[in-house]
Structure 1
Amino acid sequence: MIRVKVWKYRISWLFALCLLSSMVSGQDKHDEVRIRGTNPGFRQGDWISYTMTRFVTSAGIGPNYVYFGTTGGIIRYDYFANQWDYPFTTSSGLADNYVTAVAFDMTTNILWCGTRTAISNYQESSQRWSNTFKDESGISPYDAIVSIGFGRTSAFFETSSGLMYRSDRYGGPIFIASRADVLKDGPVSWNGWRSLRSFNFPNYHMTNGYLFSIDGYVQDTRLRRAKVTAMINDKWLNSWMGTWGFGVMRGDLRSEFLTMMPYGLYSPHVRAIAIDENGVWFAGKNENPGVSEDIGRAGVTYWNQVSGEWRYYESKFDLNLLTDNINRLHVYGDSLFCATRFGVNILDISEGDWYRLTTADGLLDDNVNDLVFSDNTLYLATNAGLNRIDLQRSRSDSLRTQNLAPKDLNLVRVFDIVLHENFLWAATEFGLYLYEIDSNRGAFVESADGPVGEVVISLGVFEHELWVGTVNAVYGLDLKNNKWLDQPEKNLSINYPVRSLLATAGQVWAGTDGGGLFRLNRETRDWIRYTREDGLLNNHVLEIRRDGDYLWLGSPEGVTLFFWNDPNRID
C-alpha cells in the first residue's frame, strides 16, 4: 500500500473571484467579429495557433487527453502518446482564447468550455466547435463561467456570481437554471472551482531549482511564485496541475515527484520568426498581455520540434541579451541573430551564450530593423541607414563596420532589406533604394509604375522578382526585364500597411497590419484574403515564414501555423 503525506489546501473564494474578475474586466478586442464555430471551409488542424499559455484557469480529463483552460486557449496533453497535441484556439473555432472553465463529458464524448464571451462545445466525432455567446443566453459579459457539471441529462454552468445555467448534454440552447433543477438532475459531476474548494497535496519534490510549498505555490530560482489554480487526478496516480504563471505540472502520487511541463510562447507578441533544422524561434515586442503578474516579463521562445521541448530566454536575467523587443530573427550557422531595439544580439546556440553589437561597435543606430547575410558579411537595416559588418571579425577587437550609401541614407529609416545577386534592396521611409555591392553605389528607384515617393515597409524576393509592400499596396518588379508588373499582380486596393512579404513559385503572400493575410495565386492571377474568420489569430500579420506546405504567421496575440497547401481544399 502506498502512503502519501497530504496537507489540506483550500482555495480562497476571494482569490478566485479576484482572479476571474481580472479575466472578464476587458471586452474582447474582436467584438466586431463573432466566431460561431469551426470554419466549415477548413479541416480541423489546417489552422493551428500557439499563444502564451502559462496562466492556467482550469483542468479536465477525457479518455485520451488532459485538457487545460488557459488565458491563451485550451492546451491538451495526450497521456498515451506522452506528448502535447496541438491546442484549441479561435483558429480552431473557439469564440475567444480566454478560457475560464473546461470539462470533458465522458458519456457524450463532448468537450465543453466557458470563455470570456461564450459557452462552447467540441464534438469529437465531427471535430467541430460550436459557440453560444453569453448575451444570447442572458449571461452578463462580466459574469465568468467558473464551473461546469454534468447531470443525468443536462450540462450545468455556474458563474462567478453564483447564477446557474443549463443545456442538453449533447448541446443546444442554454437556459437559466435553478438550484432545484440541479438537484433534480443529480448527482452532478463538477469541474472547475466547485471541484477545487478543497484538495490535498503530497509533499512534492522538484528539480531545476523549483520548490513546491504545501500552501499551493511553486517558486523558481529567481524567487518568483505561482499559485496552483487547477488540479485533476487520473487513474494512473498522476496529478495534473495548472498554475498562474508557470504553466502545467505533472505530479507522481507514488514517488511524490513534481515535474514542470513548459508549453507555448513565453510572450504572445510575435513579429520575428526563424526556422532551424530542429525547430522554430519566436520573438517580438515586450507587451503586457493583460495579466498583472506578468507585467514586464517577456522573452525569446524556442520550440524544438524534434524533442518537443520549449525553451525560453529572458533579457531581464542575461546582461548580453539587452532587450526582448526584437524586430527580426535569423539563424546563421550555429548562431541566432536578433535585430533589436538596442542593437544586434547574437546567441551561440550550442553554448547558450549571448553577445551583442551596438553603436559602440560602429553601428549607425541601435534600433536595428532587419539583417541579412551574404557569405561572411552581415547587412543591417537601422533607423539611421545601412551597415555592413565582416562576420569573421564580429567577436574580435578589430570589428570592421562600414556605413553604406551615407550621402543618400544618412539618418534615413530603413525597415527591410533583401539581397539579390550583386544588389541590396532597401525599404525606406522615402521609397525603394537600390545599392550595388561591387561598385559601392546606390540610388532611389524612381519609376511611374512603381512606388514613387511612397513609404516602403517590406520586401520579398523570389528568383528574378522583387515584391514591394507599402502603406496600402503591393508592387511586383520583374528584375530580369526591369519592368514593373501590371495588375492584378500589382494590388493597389489592399488599403492596409504591408508588414511582411513572401514570394514562392506558385504564390505571393502579403501580411498586413489590420487587413489579415493576402495571397496571390500566380496560376489564376487572383488575390485571396484570409482573416480571423478563416483561422488567423489576429488580422495584424507581422511576419511570414514558409515551412514546407505550411506558413508560420506572427501576430500580436501569438503565432499561427497555416496548412496552405492542402490538396483537398479549394480556396
Structure 2
Amino acid sequence: MWFGTKDGLNRFDGYQFKTYRHDADRPGSLGNDLVYALHYDIANRLWVGTNRGIYLYIPETEKFLVVKGTEGLRINDIKTDHNGNLWFISIKRTYIFEIASAKLSQLKSANFDATSVSVMQDGSVWITTMQGTLEQYNVSSGQFRSHYVMSRLRPTENSWVSCALDIGSNEILIGTANQGIKRFNRNTGYTKELLTFNPDKTSIYVRQMIRVSDQEQWIATESGIYVCSKDKITRLKKDFANQYSVSDNAIYSLFKDRERGIWAGTYFGGINYCSSEYSIFTKYFPQKGVNAISGSAVREITKDKQGNLWIGTEDAGLNQLEIATGKFRNYLPDGKSGSLSYSNIHGLLIDQGKLWIGTFEHGLDIMDLKSKKVIRHYTHGKGNGLKNGFILSFCKTKSGEILLATIVGLYRYDRKKDNFSLIEGLPFISYTVITQDSEGKIWAGTFNHGAVVFDLKEKGYIQYQNLQHQPSSISHNTVNGIFEDSMKQIWITTDGGGLNRYKKISKNFERITVKDGLPSNFLFKIIEDEDQKLWITSSRGLIHFDPIKKNMQVYSSSNGLLSDQFNYNSGFKDDDGQIYFG
C-alpha cells in the first residue's frame, strides 16, 4: 500500500512503513515531499504527483524518475486512458503525457478550470470543472462536450464539481463542493440529486469516490463517509464514544484493496482501515453518553421468551438487550430493594419467568422478568444448603431440574423445599461448567480435576483426568467448556490443553492443539452453526473449525473482533442462527 502525505511518500508492506522523501544529495530521490496524487496503471507502474512534478517509481532501484516538463507543476490528479496516455490536472489546467513518445502537451481546447479527471469503463475521458460541468472528451476532434450538472435553483457560489465516478449502466456518480452527491445519465443528459445536505443541513463537500461493487460506492467528504448501496445511503462519521468509528470526519481519499478492504485517508486522523470481513461481526461495547452495554468483561448469555438477550458481565452487572431495537437496559447493584446483590456475574439461567443470576462470592439472585426486580436472594449458609456463594454456571435438565456448579461442589435445586443440596457421591471439588448430553448423562467440567460424568438416577460417576505419558487421556485437567454437537460427539475445551474429542467406544480422547493449527491451547466456549461447523473462542481469537476435515479459520481483531481474548463460558446461539460471543 502507498500513501501520499505532506511529508513524503509512504509504503506499507503489511508490517511496517518505509518513507520516501526528497534528498538533494541523493540522485533519484522523490523530487518533492508534498504528494497530492497517486496512480497505479495497468502496466503496474506507480505515478506520484507532487507539488513539483510527476515521478515514476522504479521498483528495482527504489528511485524516482521525473516526467520531463512537469518539474514546476503542482499535480492535483492523475489517470491513464486506454491508449496508455497519462492525463493529469495541474492548478485547473489539463495535460496529456504520451508515455510511449514522452510527449507532454497542455490541452488548449480545455477552456475551463479542471478539478479532476476520470476514465470511464468504455475508455472515454471526462473532466470535472469549477464551472459546474462534466466535460466529455472527443478523441477524433480533440474537443470537449460540456454537460452542466449543478442545480440552478441554488446559489452558484463555489458550485463546482469535484469528482466523477463511472457506476455502470451509462451513469456517472458526481461529487460536488456544496451540492452534495448527484447521478448523471449519459443517455438522457439528466442529472438526479441524490443527497445534498448532511443531517445538520450543512452542504456536503465531496473529496473523492470509489466503486466497491456494482451496487455500492463509497464517497469521501468533509463530513465523513457516505456509502451508496442501490438507493440507500448510509453515513459513517466520527463518534467520540466509539473507538471503532472513523477517526476524523474530513476524509480526503479512499481506496479498495485486493481483499476488498477499504482504506480512508483523513486530514487529522491518519489512516483508517475497514476490513471486508468486518460486516460479519456486530460489536457491543461500553460507550459513554449513549445507550450501550455496561461492561466489557462479558460472561454468560441467555435469552427469554420475549426475545431479549440477558448478558452477565464480570465488571458492570447485568444487561438486557432488546434484539429488535438494539437497545440496552443496564442493571447494577444500588443497595435498594430489588436490585442485584453484586456486579460480578457468572451464571445465568431462564426458568419459569425468572432469571437465575449466579454471582462471584455473593450468592444467587432470582429476578422476576416481568417486574425486572430481584425477588429472592440466596446467601450460602443462611437458610439453604449452599456452602459457597460463587456460582459459576447452571444446567436445566430435560426433566426440569436445575443444577448449580460452584467452586465447592455441584448442587441440585429442590423446588418443593426451595433449597439446595449437594449431589451425593460426587467429588467435593471446584466445578466450572455443567451440561446434559442427549443420553441424559451430566458432564461437569472442573478446575484441575478433569471432567466428571454421571447420571442423576444412578450412583457413581466416571472421572476423566490427564494422565502423563498417555496421549489418549484428556489433555488438561482444567475444563473450560463441554459441548455435544449435532452428530452427538462430545467436545471439551481446556485451559491450556487445547481441544478434546471424546471417543465413545474406546472411552478416551483425541487431542487437537496448537500443533494442529489452533492459535492457542486456551479455549473456552463452543457453539455449532447451521453448517455443522464449530465456533470456538480462545485467548487468541475466534476459531471456525470443521470437525470432519479438521481444518480451521481464525478470526482476530484485524478481522473486526473487539479483542482476541474471549471470556470463559461466554456464548449463545439464537434461533435465527445468530451467534453471540463475549
Q: TM-score, normalised by structure 2?
A: 0.49
Larger gyration radius, structure 1 or structure 2:
2
- Relative contact order, higher structure (CA 8 A, sep 6+): 1
* TM-score (norm. length: structure 1): 0.49
Higher helix share: 1
